[in-house]
Amino acid sequence: MKNLIPLILITLCFLSCTKYEDDSPVDLTPGIWFIKVKSSSYAIPFNGLGAAELFAYSSSGDNITASTTFFVNHEKLDGNKFVPGALGIYSITASYYDLNSEPIEIKVEPPLNKKVLIENFTSRICGFCPWIAARLDSLDQASPNVISYSIHGQDELEVEETPVLQELLVVYHRPAIRINRGYARNFSAPIQIKPLIDSVQYFLSTQPELELSIRTFVQGQSITAKVSGKYYEDINVKDVIFLTLALVEDGVITQDQYNYFNGYPWDYCPFATQPFYMPDYKNHNVLRKVLTDPKGDLITTVPFEYGIVQELGSYTFSIDSTFDIGNLKLIAFVHRQQDGIEASTVLNSQMVKVGNQVAFNE
C-alpha cells in the first residue's frame, strides 16, 4: 500500500500537467511578432472623391491585407477603403487574428487646388480621333480640375517636340491618351467615357504636393511667363523634380479631318452624319511649342519644404505671327523624372490664358 501512494501521486501529477498543456493558448500567428498598417495617402481632400486605401503588413513584410480587419476611430471598416464623412483627423488601426497594430493618422482636409493633366496624341489623318477629342472637350469644359491639350503628328500641326514626346510617353499610334503622364489609355473607338472619368476621379482623390501659379506679360509678339510653386508637403531633396511649360492654341481650324464614323448606324455618334473629310474642323488646345526642354527643366531651387513659396522658372519668348494671341494659353506642370508610364510622375499642373495670371488657388 505504501508503494502505491507515490505511484498514484505521480499519475495525478502527470494527468494534471497534460491537462494544463491541452488548455494552453494556441499561437494563431506563428512567426509574426507584430503587424503594421499603411495608407495610400495620409492627407486626403474632403471633396466627395477623397479616399485612402489601407494595407496591412506582417513583421516579415508580407502583405496580409486580405485577412486583416481595419478600424476607423475604433469602428470596424467594411473592407480596406476609407472614405471620410467629415473633416478631421482619423485614427486607423488593424487586427490580424490576435495581433493589433499601432495606430496611424489620416488627415481629412479642405481640398487644395489640384489639376489633372490629359495629353491627347492625335492627327488630322486619324479617323478615330475626332470622337475622342469631343469626349475630352466635354470633360474639360465640365470640370475646372481638368487640363487637356492635343499633340499632333503626321499632319501640318506637328511640332518639333512631337517625336520626343511620343518616345517619352511610349506612344506608338493614335489616338493615345496619357493622364498625368503615367496612366495610359489607348482607346479604340468608340471611346467609353467612364474609364476616362474614373481616371480623373482617381487622381482627384488625393491632395497635391504643391500648387502652381502663373503670371504672364505681353509686349508685342514677346511673352514673359513666371511660374511659382507653393509646397504642401516636404519633397525629398534627392528627388529629381522638373518643370515643363507648353504653349497651346485653342480653336485651330484645319481642313479635311479624317472621320471613320461617316455612315455608321449609331444614333449616339455625333460624327455619323459628318463627311469622311470634315471641313473647318476645330482643334482644342493644340500644342504649338514646348518652352522648356521637352522632358522638362530641372528645378534647382531647394528646399522643397512645406509652406515654401518660390519661383520655379521664368521664360521670355516670341510667338509666331500666324498664332492667334487671343487663343493662346500656357500649361505648366511639375513632375518627377519620366521613366516609362507605369507610374504617374505629375505632381500638379496649371493653365492660364496668355496675358493673364492665375493664382495658386484658382
| pLDDT score recorded for residue 240 | 84
| pLDDT score recorded for residue 142 | 86
Q: Are strands 43-45 and 104-109 parallel, antiparallel or unpaired?
A: parallel
3-state secondary structure at position 17? helix
Domain 116-358 matching CATH 2.60.40.10: the answer reads: yes
82 touches 50 (CB < 8 A): no
Residue 362 to residue 347: CA distance in whole angstroms = 16
| pLDDT score recorded for residue 237 | 57
Per-domain residue ranges of the chain: 35-109, 116-358
What's the whole-model pTM score? 0.87
| pLDDT score recorded for residue 14 | 46
63 touches 36 (CB < 8 A): no
Distances (CA, A) of 151 to 12, 73, 243: 88, 48, 18
Of 357, 319, 255, 290, nearest to 119 by C-alpha is: 290
320 touches 288 (CB < 8 A): yes
| pLDDT score recorded for residue 92 | 98
Bridge partners (DSSP) of residue 231 are 210
**Which CATH entry fits the domain spanning 35-109: 2.60.210.10, 3.30.70.20, 3.20.20.70, 2.60.40.10?**
2.60.40.10
3-state secondary structure at position 220? coil
Q: What is the CA radius of gyration of the chain?
A: 29
| pLDDT score recorded for residue 223 | 97
Residues of the chain short of pLDDT 50, as ranges, are 1-2, 4-5, 7-20, 189-190
